[in-house]
Structure 1
Amino acid sequence: MLEDLGIEMINVPMTPDGPDMTQVEARIQNDPTVRGLWCVPKHSNPGGETCSDDTIERLARLGTTASPHFRIMCDNAYAVHDLDDDVPRLANLMDACRRQGTADSLVLFGSTSKVTRAGAGISFMAGSAINLDNFRDRLRVMTIGPDKVNQLRHVRFLRDLDGIRAHMRKHAAILRPKFDLVQERLSNALAGTGMGSWTTPRGGYFVSFDAQPGLAERIIGLAGDAGVKLTPAGATFPYRRDPNDTNIRLAPTFPELADLDQALQVFVACVQLASIRQRLTR
């Protein structure tokens, strides 16, 4: 969407606490043309990071120094997608913005696309009165209204927050063995080899794997030749360009456990093969 609108995107590295806020703050301070920031605050795609309390406070303060038109687009896509009950707590970004007097700088999004049915769920938007009024002015010429039958369907199925949590625990029961298998296969084959590192997410849908620089596209190609389809290299970067050609997003949620096990064995073999070939050419 941003590419189509001609809006330049700048890649910012992630840390275990969320986006590298020192770099974010420096870019906003040094470049008045910066107009916004996209953020997945919990179980971020693809690394699974959850913003720390400090990161939330620093995000809230951005509106005090940025352009008046600056907006944080906060896509809380994995708000309830926990793999266990003991997960990092996400502080309330809107409350933090209100404390800083920057509520107009924040727009929040969420949906049930990964709760009920993708493409057939309901979506949500939250923000200040100014932001919501601007959105309504544009939305009213695009649609006469939401699908109220589908809204009712979701209310009757999910009921309330406790109902959502109970439903998502069923999701977790399906997904947890798959994420555990990914960790087991990667650790058994690659731990201590220097051939890659990976995240251990506690929620969300992905595991982020970093190969040696210059190998991500090669590993994905080898896996494809062996019949295992992976997300394209650079898929999570602006313009799909990973500057180090190192990151591979693993999505273990869809395959059955036996198929996932076979695919992981192919994947680690491709990592090993590409890494050894690289070392031999040095």
Structure 2
Amino acid sequence: MNPARIAVLAIAIVAGGIAAYLASGSDDKPAPVKQVAQLQTVDVLVAKNEIGLGQSVKPDDLQWQTWPAATASGTFIKKTERPEATKEITGSIARSPFIAGEPIREPKLVKADGSGFMAAILPTGMRAVSTEISPETGAGGFILPNDRVDVILTRREKNPDGKGGPDLAISEIILSNVRVLAIDQAPKEKEGQNAVVGKTVTLELKPEQTETLSRSRQTGTLSLALRSIADVNMVEQLDEDGQRARRGESVNVVRYGVVSPTTMQK
């Protein structure tokens, strides 16, 4: 063999060996894969659709939804604990409305057991009493179920001066911070907004308050004053009849042409 060819072959073999050595000692290794912490989840029963106050829950209104286990409240219904909860909840009546996606909580539901919707949603010891109102006496039609209202009685009395003057209009709050259970709802367009104009309102009252309302309906006109949602838990000072406790109010009484201030206790 030609010596030149032998030399070239030897150089090629040596170069190949060096390349193989360098390749075997390379530090270009793939980066280690970071371990991602597995988020623990649990299946929670939620409202698939909106469920209104007094609505009977149907199977199509419910679904199981994956929920982070760390934020799942103890009041939530979990599939691991109650796999047949959908069947158990079906037929219950909503005491409070649910929005779509809201977890189902049993304190907001009640089993009717053959009773009507109103009897089912009434708390123990309370009564449902209906009374007529007009758009002018019902806060312009913006009172809805679950709102809180004051009931105002307005009555007319004869002028005490005895000279044929105009009658006096006297107004007082007879019931304070009571819950509206229902109102006959008829949507009506009013200045671009849908107002609800009701003619009959059903209030949640204590037994002694029902007597106060019944008496007041015979003596004058009843009006409703809508309260702020922040007043729901406000403690009212009530007397033995369930009326709002009031301090003495000063009015002017005219006797024989002489005006004198008098304090009236309600």
Q: TM-score range by the shorter chain?
A: under 0.3
Q: Which structure would you say has the larger RCO, counting Cα contacts within 8 Å and 6 or more residues apart? A: 1
What TM-score, normalized by structure 2, do the two folds share? 0.25
Larger proportion of helix: 1
Larger Rg: 2
Task: Kindly indicate which of the two structures has a greater share of residues assigned to strand.
Answer: 2
